[in-house]
Amino acid sequence: MNLLKKIVWNRDGRLRLVWLWLVGFALYFAWVWGTDVLFAHLFGRLEGLVHEGLLQTPMWETFSEHGYSAIASIVESAGLILLFMWMYKRMRIHGHYEKFNHRICTKWVIVGALAALAGIGLCLLTDSLRFETGLSRPNFSWTALVAIPEIYLATRAGEVFMMDYLYDGARQRVPRPAALALLIVVEYVADAGWNLGWIGMLNLILQVTVVSELHERYGLAAAAGLWFGWDYVLSAIFPIEAPGVWSLYRVGDAWLTGGHHGLFEGAWMTAVILGIMGYLWLRVHWKPLMEKKK
Measured distance CA(162)–CA(226) in Å, rounded = 15
Measured distance CA(257)–CA(253) in Å, rounded = 7
- Quickly count: other Cβ atoms within 10 Å of residue 222's Cβ: 25
Strands (E), the chain: 129-131, 248-250
pLDDT at 59 over 60: no
SS3 254: coil
Q: Are the C-beta atoms of 237 and 228 separated by less than 8 Å?
A: no
pLDDT at 93 over 80: no
Measured distance CA(8)–CA(263) in Å, rounded = 42
- Quickly count: other Cβ atoms within 10 Å of residue 8's Cβ: 11
HSE-CB at 30 with a 13 A cutoff on CA atoms is 8
Measured distance CA(31)–CA(25) in Å, rounded = 10
Question: Model confidence at 37, in pLDDT bands (50, 70, 90)?
Answer: confident
**Mean pLDDT for the chain?**
79
Q: Nearest 5°: CA angle at 205, between 232 and 26?
A: 75
Instruction: Render pLDDT for 182-230 as a digit per residue (tens, 0 to 9).
Output: 888 888 877 665 567 777 788 888 888 888 888 888 888 888 899 899 8
Question: Phi then psi for 246, rounded to 5 degrees?
Answer: -130, 100
Q: What is the pTM of this model?
A: 0.81
Instruction: Render pLDDT for 106-146 as a digit per residue (tens, 0 to 9).
Output: 999 999 899 888 888 888 888 888 888 877 788 877 778 88
Q: Are the C-beta atoms of 232 and 151 separated by less than 8 Å?
A: yes
DSSP 8-state class, residue 9: B
Instruction: Render pLDDT for 7-31 as a digit per residue (tens, 0 to 9).
Output: 666 666 677 788 888 888 999 999 9
pLDDT at 85 over 70: yes
